[in-house]
Structure 1
Amino acid sequence: MKRIAGILMLVLQVLPYTISAQKAVEVNSNITDVVVYLDAASITRKAQVNLPEGRTKISFTGLSPFIDFKTISITTPEGVSIESINHSNNYLSKKDKNEEAEMLTKKLSDLEAQQKVISTSIAVVNEEINFLNDNRSISGKNEAVSVQTLKDASTFYGSRIKELRFKSLELSEQHNDITKKIEETRRQLSVISSKPSTPTGEIEVLLETNSPKNEVPIVVNYLVKNAGWFPRYDIKANVLDRPITLVYKANIRQETKEDWKNVKVKLTNSEPNVSGVAPALKPYLLNYGLQPPRYGKIVNVVQGRVTDTHGNPLPGTNIVISGTSIGTIANTEGKYSINIPTDANSLTFSMVGFKPRTLPINSNTINVVMEEDEVRLEEVTVVAYGVASDDYDRSRKSEVRKEAPKPKITGGAVTESGILEKLTSVEFELAKPFSLESENKSQDVKLLTYEIPAEFKYSTTPKVDKGAYLWVNIPAWEMYNLLDGEANVFFENTYTGSTLIDTRKALDTLQLSLGVDKSISVKREKVKEFTKKQLIGSSKEETRSWKITIKNNKSQDISITVLDQIPVSINEEIKVNVLEKSNAAINPENGEVKWDLLIPAGQFRELILTYSVRYPKNRNLYVE
């Protein structure tokens, strides 16, 4: 009995190791659903497996190597229990690089074969040319050659030599073209070979069932980081008293190393986070030793090129204004351009396989060199019990519907029922299956087209910029679920440039700058006869006067806000007195001078701003 008990104990001790060492059964799974976040994606895979009685280890293979293992969640039907979940990266299966390298190797082999054929053809042509040159003489030693024979021989020789020369030239051009393609292919193959291979992800699941079960549905869900989306917009306005058309688009990217083929896609955003691109005044504080505010070059658009350390362009690089959802993608030449809000500080550049970079916005041109990330993906094994991380909770318990008037939707990939508003975010569900391969490219999807009632108004700050900016005011903007993003502007059927939808400081009404309207002219000039400096007792007094002229060259009346400023004294010895303001409203705290005007079509208005500054005559003060 002791011996039997000992053997039983040994079997019980060895059994767990036997189960652990059990070879996993690979199962076929397909991606069915994807939830795309601004900087991540939640992937849902489904498979059907046959399970014998007892414990079975199954393996989901060919997955993304960028899985956040903390978010792995497995769902099984009743009667099937999950004993453990293991995640790892398989470095023996590196399909992405191998497939591309094999394709380029085959292309190189085909090109080299073509090159050999052309080289042989050139050699044959040259042999024939040499043969004709060696046999040009047709005269014999003992017999004369007729004139006609000479003519025929000359004609044949000239025609054939000409034909062969042109054929040689054509073949040489083909040879040079093939040689160039071979060099390009070799360089590309060298770049791929020099980069570290990307492994594939695998998830092993140990399941247990009390009885055999066939076609058991297993659902796997996990989060990957190399995916995301950001909004883009088209704003179309034709007549100032008509609604605007707003096309809401999504730029979707994914480099997860998993292709999405005919999957259900939902796009979700964080809480919508303003200011326009139009210039803003700085307070003009007046004191000894202080200079008036200076308005240098405003950085409202940044452009540049993204390359690797060898100078090669990095198409598909993601460029985002830090802390916002405003972003863009580098093109095939690595070039990019992005609109900048007035309070933006930095840009973040990210690309799979390269270290992310965050750079300050201090110039209109920012060229970026990205360094390869030498930290290789290490194999990770984790045993997980339970569901995904709370950060990406996929439960729908918190979903609520706002009791707000529905905006008018006139088209797009999302229907009205496909918009789901939650407590802190909004979700767009595409009505049709969506496909996107894993590569350094992005795809624009037209989500919605809104017809939005809007109020148009102009503003100008001629001290800083003599342009008249057209603004559109959108009340109750929250119902449109707008995110921060760039927008192309079409005014009166003409593309006028791009602007920003920036909701971070918007209240009940969202203001969008549609750019400068050149049919409104603005002029600001100093009135010299009222600009003077004089002594009054123990004080100096300086007077400044400015004339602002706004002309409406449109065929419609316009409403326009004109902004200027007076200095604000922060010293009791310095007194500022407004002499003429043309009925403007003045903010005493920051010195802002504001006119709200209605200018009929074809007419103009002149505004006068005159102020004096008095200070002790023994002091020096710079007055603009």
Structure 2
Amino acid sequence: MEPRNVERPPPFQPSNIELVAKDDSTISGVSVYSGRAEVTRIFKFKVQTGQNQITVNGLPSVLDQESLRVQGRGAATIHDVTISRIPRLPVPTTSPTLTALQAKKERIVMALARCKKGIASLETYLATLHVQYIDVTQLRKVVKEYDATAEELDNQRLELQKELADVDKKLEDERTKLAGTGFDEKLNLRAVIGVFADSESEVEITLIYAVHGASWNAGYDIRVDMQAKEEPVTLIYKAGITQNTGEDWGDISLTLETATPTFGVGVPALDPWNLSIYKPEPIMLASQAAPPPPRWSMAPRAGRGGFGKSALVPHEATYAESYREPSIIAHRELEVSSKGNVSATFQVPGLISIPSDGVAHNVTIVQLKLNAKMSWVCVPKKDTKTHLSAKIKNASQYTLLRGTASVYMDGSFISRSEVPAVSPDESFDCALGLDPSIRITYHPRVKKQSQSGFVTKTANHVFTQNITIFNTKSMAIDNVRIVDQIPVSEDAQIQVRLINPSLSSALITGSRDSATASMIEAVRKPVPISKGVTALWDGADEPEVDGETLGRNGKLNWVCSVPPQSKVNLVLQWEVVVPARTDILGLALAVCYP
């Protein structure tokens, strides 16, 4: 029986599919964090039955390789994923188009030279003509022929100059095209994905990866309507998005994250902790040669980063050894508010485009109407300007991040302020700038001096300080706070007594041990001065301030309500009793005018 010829199957060759990220995929969504972003790209392509090798070129060089995850849909299985850098190819210096353009330019330059030579020859010929050698009847014909020939040469020269400029422009474009052919420094990563398909079909592969070079910052417009009785503050919450990743985000669904991402963060390892007896090194003499420094050898570090598992059939992915692992970038943690960690997710409505240009692109997150309590503060001893601030309650579901705010009052820009990190239902203080409509006058201080005592003479100094508040507004204002002070004694021979306002001063002269609960309550209690005016020790209305320390620094406040176009007068008076003919350090400052 003769043996039959059996055909051997051809050697197995995987199907190679080349893709370019920016051309063959779409970005379905981007989540921007503080300092980085997470990008989701979707590829759709056909695979052959069996093994397919998918090469995705043009991924951003700032890609965090430890964050890459590959998912997919279809009748296929993802086997492995490797990442490497695209090698820089030699830049071509010439091309058929460039050669043709250079030859065309040479022809135009030679033609232009001939044209200029012809014009010069015509001018030379005309200059050699003399009256004695030409008939007057022929002069008109000579001039007419000269004019026609010169016009023809001029038009030819202009046309050649235009053609030369066009060729130079094409040459420049071709050289630029050659210089940038096949390589982009910002998009020089390549991912190779092994996919085994059960049958020829279309599959969908999703790459999810983190990139550096992207961030967003919160910004605010705070608009204050002084005439509004309810919700006087309009807060416009904005986000400035900046990215320089190398890939443009066009018509994407954008999410802003306030949490800190944890891409590539592993469990830390403990270093060796050894104990030994300290042995001082022997002192080397100058004549002795120093021993050679020890040689250290660097052993190759083994280890591979991991990818997320496939959404089809889970397989462990591996890295290629042809790239250098980037160092882990430390994340800047968000500040913590009084109610817990500030963490929120904002979905920007609609689609948005953010080019890779490193420029901040602003979007509005939300516009909020908020309640606020206005307050005016002035320290006239130092400065008679009145500072306006608002205690704003964030009665919304939005978390406010720290950011800069532009403050507008009644439609006019007045200042810039800072908004802290604020959780929902939390209040925060916002400085609104100076209010020139509240005028404070700090009058010259008046001093009266007398002596008392028969055996031991004492000098009594009574100081009176007058302060005037003038509200030039057409509306009444509440919660105007004036801050001032009286001196504090540091010696038992010096006695300081507050005369007006009559605040409880038991804790100024008394010891801490003698302070009782009733005394502390009395010191905290504000004292009515006149209609709409109360006085209290500085910090007495702040619950977190220790009641036993109130008044010890000599600082006090007036809290006033001032009618429209009206004035309120305040009087601060105190007495200082010292031994007669005794120089008191600091007493002279009490009579110095601000």
TM-score range, shorter chain: 0.5 to 0.7
Counterparts in 2 of 1:40 and 1:566: CA distance versus 1, 3 Å: same
- Deviation, structure 1 residue 53: 4.4
- Residue number in structure 1 paired with 2:430: 512
- Deviation, structure 1 residue 517: 2.1
1:371-392 CA-to-partner distances (Å, cap 9, x unmatched) read xxxxxxxxx985535499xx99
1:462-491 CA-to-partner distances (Å, cap 9, x unmatched) read 334433233333234453432222222222
Whether the 8 Å CA contact 2:398–2:423 is kept in 1: the answer is no
Q: Does residue 447 of the first structure (1) align with residue 347 of the second (2)?
A: no
- Residue number in structure 2 paired with 1:578: 498
Whether the 8 Å CA contact 1:489–1:514 is kept in 2: the answer is yes
Of 577, 585, 593, the residue aligned with 1:620 is 585
- Residue number in structure 1 paired with 2:44: 48
Whether the 8 Å CA contact 1:61–1:203 is kept in 2: the answer is yes
Q: Does residue 479 of the first structure (1) align with residue 397 of the second (2)?
A: yes
Counterparts in 2 of 1:217 and 1:492: CA distance versus 1, 3 Å: same
- Deviation, structure 1 residue 245: 2.4
- Residue number in structure 1 paired with 2:474: 555
1:322-353 CA-to-partner distances (Å, cap 9, x unmatched) read xxxxxxxxxxxxxxxxxxxxxxxxxxxxxxxx
1: CA distance between counterparts of 2:17 and 2:250?
A: 24
- Residue number in structure 2 paired with 1:259: 248
1:408-457 CA-to-partner distances (Å, cap 9, x unmatched) read xxxxxxxxxxxxxx985221112211111101212111222223343333
1:106-126 CA-to-partner distances (Å, cap 9, x unmatched) read 9xx9xxx9xx99xx9xx99xx
2: CA distance between counterparts of 1:246 and 1:205?
A: 48
- Deviation, structure 1 residue 93: 7.6
SS in 1 for 2:253: strand
How do 1:200-239 residues align onto structure 2 when only pairs under 5 Å count? 200-209=188-197, 211-212=198-199, 214-239=201-226
- Deviation, structure 1 residue 578: 1.9
Whether the 8 Å CA contact 2:211–2:245 is kept in 1: the answer is yes
- Deviation, structure 1 residue 30: 1.9
- Residue number in structure 1 paired with 2:278: none
1: CA distance between counterparts of 2:382 and 2:422?
A: 24
SS in 2 for 1:60: strand
- Deviation, structure 1 residue 506: 11
- Residue number in structure 1 paired with 2:447: 530
Whether the 8 Å CA contact 1:477–1:510 is kept in 2: the answer is no
Q: Does residue 384 of the first structure (1) align with residue 311 of the second (2)?
A: no
Counterparts in 2 of 1:257 and 1:198: CA distance versus 1, 3 Å: closer
1: CA distance between counterparts of 2:43 and 2:387?
A: 56
How do 1:395-410 residues align onto structure 2 when only pairs under 5 Å count? none
1: CA distance between counterparts of 2:200 and 2:373?
A: 64
Q: Does residue 88 of the first structure (1) align with residue 84 of the second (2)?
A: yes
Q: Does residue 592 of the first structure (1) align with residue 555 of the second (2)?
A: yes
Whether the 8 Å CA contact 2:36–2:211 is kept in 1: the answer is yes
1:511-543 CA-to-partner distances (Å, cap 9, x unmatched) read 32222222221222431x227698985776665
Whether the 8 Å CA contact 1:240–1:456 is kept in 2: the answer is no
Whether the 8 Å CA contact 2:397–2:424 is kept in 1: the answer is no
2: CA distance between counterparts of 1:532 and 1:606?
A: 24
- Residue number in structure 2 paired with 1:67: 63
- Deviation, structure 1 residue 612: 4.1
SS in 2 for 1:530: strand
Of 414, 418, 423, the residue aligned with 1:496 is 414
- Residue number in structure 2 paired with 1:244: 233
- Residue number in structure 1 paired with 2:292: none
2: CA distance between counterparts of 1:383 and 1:238?
A: 56
- Residue number in structure 2 paired with 1:375: none
Counterparts in 2 of 1:90 and 1:461: CA distance versus 1, 3 Å: farther
Counterparts in 2 of 1:198 and 1:219: CA distance versus 1, 3 Å: closer
2: CA distance between counterparts of 1:543 and 1:503?
A: 48
SS in 1 for 2:397: helix
- Deviation, structure 1 residue 57: 3.2
1: CA distance between counterparts of 2:190 and 2:578?
A: 78
- Deviation, structure 1 residue 197: 4.7
Whether the 8 Å CA contact 2:82–2:192 is kept in 1: the answer is yes
Whether the 8 Å CA contact 1:580–1:609 is kept in 2: the answer is yes
2: CA distance between counterparts of 1:545 and 1:141?
A: 117
Partner AA of 1:26 in structure 2: E
- Deviation, structure 1 residue 564: 1.7
Counterparts in 2 of 1:611 and 1:382: CA distance versus 1, 3 Å: same
1: CA distance between counterparts of 2:449 and 2:65?
A: 74
How do 1:50-449 residues align onto structure 2 when only pairs under 5 Å count? 50-77=46-73, 80-92=76-88, 197-198=185-186, 200-209=188-197, 211-212=198-199, 214-242=201-229, 243-270=232-259, 382-386=305-309, 424-449=342-367
Give the count of matched residue pairs. 416
Whether the 8 Å CA contact 1:33–1:265 is kept in 2: the answer is yes
2: CA distance between counterparts of 1:386 and 1:533?
A: 91
- Deviation, structure 1 residue 199: 5.1
Whether the 8 Å CA contact 1:84–1:383 is kept in 2: the answer is no
Of 599, 603, 609, the residue aligned with 2:572 is 609
Whether the 8 Å CA contact 1:241–1:455 is kept in 2: the answer is no
- Deviation, structure 1 residue 269: 1.6
Partner AA of 2:59 in structure 1: L
1: CA distance between counterparts of 2:471 and 2:221?
A: 27
Partner AA of 2:193 in structure 1: V
1: CA distance between counterparts of 2:578 and 2:194?
A: 86
Whether the 8 Å CA contact 1:87–1:381 is kept in 2: the answer is no
Whether the 8 Å CA contact 1:460–1:560 is kept in 2: the answer is no
The Cα RMSD (Å) is: 5.5
- Deviation, structure 1 residue 460: 2.5
Q: Does residue 33 of the first structure (1) align with residue 22 of the second (2)?
A: no
2: CA distance between counterparts of 1:382 and 1:24?
A: 25
SS in 2 for 1:76: strand
1: CA distance between counterparts of 2:577 and 2:66?
A: 69
Of 362, 371, 377, the residue aligned with 1:459 is 377
Whether the 8 Å CA contact 2:342–2:399 is kept in 1: the answer is no
Partner AA of 1:59 in structure 2: T
Whether the 8 Å CA contact 2:251–2:353 is kept in 1: the answer is yes
2: CA distance between counterparts of 1:206 and 1:425?
A: 38
Counterparts in 2 of 1:91 and 1:383: CA distance versus 1, 3 Å: farther
- Aligned residues with identical type, % of pairs: 21
Partner AA of 2:574 in structure 1: Y
Of 482, 485, 495, the residue aligned with 1:566 is 485
Gaps of 5+ in 1: 1-17, 99-105, 146-191, 272-379, 393-421
1: CA distance between counterparts of 2:459 and 2:47?
A: 97
2: CA distance between counterparts of 1:586 and 1:262?
A: 59
2: CA distance between counterparts of 1:438 and 1:459?
A: 46
